[in-house]
Amino acid sequence: MDTTRLRRESQFRWVLDPQGAMRVPGVLYADEALLADMDDKVIEQVANVAALPGIVGASYAMPDAHWGYGFPIGGVAAFDPEQGGVVSAGGVGFDISCGVRTLHTGLSRADLNGREEALANELFHRIPAGVGSRGRIELSPAEMDDMLAGGARWAVGAGYGRPGDLERSEELGRMAGADPGAVSDRAKERQRDEMGTLGSGNHYLEVQRVAAIHDAETAAAFGLREDDLLVTIHCGSRGLGHQIGSEALKAMAQSAAGHGIDLPDRELACTPLKSREGRTYLGAMRAGINCALANRQILTHLTRAAFADVLPAADLDLLYDVSHNTCKEEIHVVDGVERRLFVHRKGATRALEPGSPNLVPALRAAGQPVLIGGTMGTASYILVGMAGNDGRSFGSSCHGAGRRMSRNQARKQWRGDQVVRELRQRGILVRSPSLRGVAEEAPGAYKAVEAVVAAAESAGLSRRVARVEPCVVIKG
């Protein structure tokens, strides 16, 4: 990236002053090395977002930002409906509410000794993963609407989980304001037998070991100790979310001019929050969030069943569930005034600080767990939102490492069977229906997550609490 256009405000905060059509500055959080690695397209996309109507504060890029479509991936932007603010389907993304959920197991790594293969096989058997897989649940039209309105709360009511799970989830497991009637029949058809499926690509389920504790006090509040065995699930709203995103993107791109919005890039397709189209999209997008929450809840249920068979002493309690691709209505204080804003996080995680009114009660004192996915061969991180972050990024942080090379490049460089064998030698068991998929997801195809989380911490967004390493990986 050409950093000469940026003004360095501190070691980890870089400002793109308003120019041209920009209504607010761009703010990039990164160290010098991460910034040098970022594509120039990130600056361009940050500037384009800053030009959208009703944007408040700044157009932000998180330390893992990379070239997305419309918004950068790792982009955060808040809009005020009273100032002509917009909602953007491209700013949410296709995989609505794609996110990460981490569970305690009540076991330590040693309890898994000798049972690794059995657990890997049982999880792979029970959890539908990969292209062409079907869920074990088929929803009737009425059940579909209940699921879209109820999210994880619907899933728990239907027997997929425990009431306690909901206390540890964003929105307490149910996104309010969802409108199943705003979701197209095609989107529902795409989801009919996809509940409880993991998906493919970068989605995964991992059994992990807590390899290091960085912040003992917060780790204790989160119930984490070194050598604890955890389970982390990364997936989203499946076909339903993808279909909602595709349809809204095309519709908003074609209607923007009619709302007087001049799009610098069609992929920024957006519509006023207060328009009928905007309200319809919000209703559908929130239903998509509920679909993702319900899906991760069903996967939690399937995971518990696998553990009950192989390691019956396990007790899988939810640590937390975060979403990456969302637009959420939140209260934030801007220049001393409380305002109701719609915050887009595209490939970015909420990272609410201790005491935040937007945080579930069970975690309000400690701050929000921020779950950062790494690769299947390296490590993931559990962080916590830092005090003061609301004023820095509307309470947001990075979401992962980001790719270092494309899927095609990765496939040329690695073979799936070699990746599986090498990881096995390091004590990591991988199960996947697609060796090509494993090659495309090889650990070396991703950037080092350490640099990203270190920058997020130095920038005051989220602080490292624990480092976790994979033991068993189910890839879609």
Positions touching another protein (CB under 8 A) are 39, 66-70, 73, 90, 93-95, 130-132, 134, 186, 189-190, 199-201, 239, 242-243, 245-246, 249-250, 253-254, 265-267, 269, 402-403, 406-409, 411, 416, 433-437, 439-440
Residue 403 DSSP one-character state: B
Q: Which is nearer to another protein, 200 or 393 (CB)?
A: 200
Of the candidates 450, 462, 461, 458, the one whose C-alpha atom is nearest the C-alpha of residue 31 is 458
* Residue 399 is a catalytic residue: yes
**Residue 142: CB partners within 8 Å, gap ≥ 6?**
none
How many angstroms separate the CA atoms of 210 and 311, rounded? 18
Q: Do the beta carbons of residue 78 and residue 55 sit within 8 Å?
A: yes
Q: What is the Cα 143 distance to its own chain's centre? A: 26
Q: Which is nearer to another protein, 69 or 275 (CB)?
A: 69
Torsion angle, CA of 441/445/448/452, rounded to 10 degrees?
-80
Q: Which is nearer to another protein, 107 or 139 (CB)?
A: 139
CB of 314 to another protein, least distance (A): 29
Q: Which is nearer to another protein, 60 or 71 (CB)?
A: 71
Q: Which is nearer to another protein, 283 or 402 (CB)?
A: 402
- 350-386 in b/e form (b: 16+ CB < 10 A) is bbbbbebebbbeebeebbbbbbbbbbbbbbbbbbbbb
Q: Do the beta carbons of residue 434 and residue 407 sit within 8 Å?
A: no
Place of tokens 């500037």: 47
Pick the catalytic residue from 66, 242, 332, 399.
399
**Residue 217: CB partners within 8 Å, gap ≥ 6?**
none
Q: What share of the chain is helix, strand, coil (3-state, %, to 5)?
A: 40, 25, 35
CB of 42 to another protein, least distance (A): 10
Q: Which is nearer to another protein, 224 or 439 (CB)?
A: 439
C-alpha distances in Å from residue 410, one per residue of 146, 343, 413, 450: 41, 34, 5, 21
Residues forming the active site: 399
